[in-house]
Amino acid sequence: MPPPIPATLIPGDGIGPEIMDATLAALEALGAPLRWDMQAAGLQGVKEAGDPLPPKTLDSIRRTRLALKGPLETPSGGGYRSSNVRLREEFNLYANLRPARTLIPGGRFDNIDLVVVRENLEGLYIGHEHYIPIGDDPHAVAMATGVNTRQGSRRVLEFAFEHAIATGRKKVTIVHKANIMKALTGIFLETGQQLYERKYKGRFTLDTVIIDACAMKLVLNPWQFDVLVTTNLFGDILSDLVAGLVGGLGMTPGANIGIDAAIFEAVHGSAPDIAGTGVANPTALLLAAAMMLDHCRLPEMSARLRTAIGDTLNVDKVRTGDVGGHSGTAEFTRALVTRIVNA
Ligand code: NAI
């Protein structure tokens, strides 16, 4: 038996606890050697500790440097700042890896196999914003500051390029808007092109595309892309678009990789509209757990998990409603665990 790997577990808000139970059942059936330290964050953190990111949770991740996280609710407009953004900043999680692969054939798009690498710490997404009052309107003008640095751009581009080589990808596309935001996204494009010329030329093809054209091309012919690397806000939007190509948010995992830790999660949010109804699709979080097993150098276990997910969906045809099935979370989980145990 390999020694247990300490890891932080954050069930999260909304559907979080439901899909986390499913994921833990699968990991247990696999015999994954993970020793969990359960912690709260988001709305649950506020309820338990009066803080959306309690110090105890941060201490746990500081210790384990590894976490599996359910979605965390962030109030829109006012309220507290996103715990997800704070976690990324706290642990320097600069690269957000979001693979999208067709798992259920016969959909609108077949055989999709794409990776979006999103810069996770800079850009317009950092939320450095303020209002300027004019007369009696306190919100007369809204302003946001975007910051991209050479060093921040280089490290995520390097991550994307290395990932492409390590996983045998043939093409990397830098997505930008340097025709309009010449400085803010120009620095990202320029850094990527220079890095490619200096260090990576010939090891894969480098392409560049403007974000709006990229969105159209992804819908018309997604197969022309392989790895997409882009700044924070564009990556946020594109990864949901790409999720739509493979059956929706219930099917896409994400890894936040950084200097001080790695945090694995589903791309989707807490889905308050279906929370507590037992219909949530746990596949995205299960696939995030598979990425975590890869990160822990347990590739045989992650392969077993991915095969069992595929067989549950396509051989047993047990599927949740969001991907055209009639099963609830519990029934899907039972079928998946049976697949894992009998493999
Ligand atoms: P959402 O991703 O929670 O939901 C969008 C739509 O997809 C909803 O109709 C929902 O029912 C559906 N959906 C999402 N995941 C599903 C699943 N596993 N199975 C079946 N259907 C699923 O996005 P929304 O509603 O914009 O955000 C809700 C909350 O989640 C917000 O507070 C937001 O800030 C937070 N959020 C958190 C994220 C994270 O923790 N990484 C990421 C995105 C949003």
The atom of ligand 1 lying closest to the CA of 69 is 40
255 in contact with ligand 1, CB cutoff 6 A: no
Whether 148 has a pLDDT exceeding 90, the answer reads yes
- Structure confidence at residue 259 as a pLDDT band (50, 70, 90): confident
Give the pLDDT confidence score for residue 343 in this predicted structure: 84
> Above pLDDT 90, what percent of the chain?
92
Residue nearest to atom 5 of ligand 1 (CA): 271
Q: Which two tokens stand for residue 209?
A: 């595309």
CB-side exposure of 85: number of CA atoms within 13 Å?
16
177 is catalytic: yes
Domains defined along the chain, listed by start: 1-91+260-343 (3.40.718.10), 95-250 (3.40.718.10)
Q: By the 8 A CB rule, do 218 and 241 touch?
A: yes
CB atoms within 10 A of CB 204: 18
Which residue's alpha carbon is at the smallest distance from atom 26 of ligand 1? 269
pLDDT digits (tens, 9 = 90+) for 45-91: 999 999 999 999 999 999 999 999 999 998 887 778 889 989 999 99
Active site residue 236: yes
Calculate the average pLDDT of the chain: 96
DSSP H helices in the chain: 16-30, 42-49, 55-64, 83-90, 150-166, 186-195, 211-220, 232-245, 283-295, 299-314, 329-342
Regarding the beta carbon of 322 and ligand 1, being less than 6 Å apart is answered yes
Atom of ligand 1 minimally distant from the CA of 12: 40
Pairing state between β 253-257 and 95-101: antiparallel
Ligand 1: residue of 268, 309, 326 to mutate (most ligand atoms within 8 A of CB) is 268
Average pLDDT over residues 279-304: 97
As separate numbers, helices (DSSP H) first and strands (DSSP E) second, the chain gives 11, 12
Q: Which residues pair with 69 in a beta bridge?
A: 10, 265
How many C-beta atoms lie closer than 10 Å to residue 154's C-beta? 16
CA–CA gap between residue 147 and residue 128 (Å, rounded) = 9
Residue 311 a catalytic site member: no
Determine if residue 176 is left, alpha or beta; phi over 0 gives left, psi from -120 to 50 gives alpha, anything else beta: beta
The contacts of residue 9 (CB under 8 Å, 6+ apart) are: 20, 24, 36, 37, 38, 39, 67, 68
pLDDT (mean) for 268-296: 97
Residue range 234-251: mean pLDDT, rounded: 93
Q: Note if 37 is an active site residue.
A: no
The pLDDT score that the predictor gives to residue 318 is 98
To test the pocket of ligand 1, the residue of 239, 270, 287 to mutate (highest count of ligand atoms within 8 Å of its CB) is 270
**pLDDT at residue 118, as a whole number:** 98
User: Among the options 37, 94, 125, 322, which is catalytic?
Assistant: 125
| pLDDT tens figures, 159-177 | 999 999 999 999 999 999 9
Interval 28-51: pLDDT, tens: 999 999 999 999 999 999 999 999
DSSP class of residue 81 equals: P
Local confidence band at 1 (pLDDT 50, 70, 90 cut-offs): low
Query: Under a CB-based contact definition with an 8 Å cutoff, are residues 90 and 57 in contact?
Result: no
Tally of CB atoms within 10 A around 114: 23
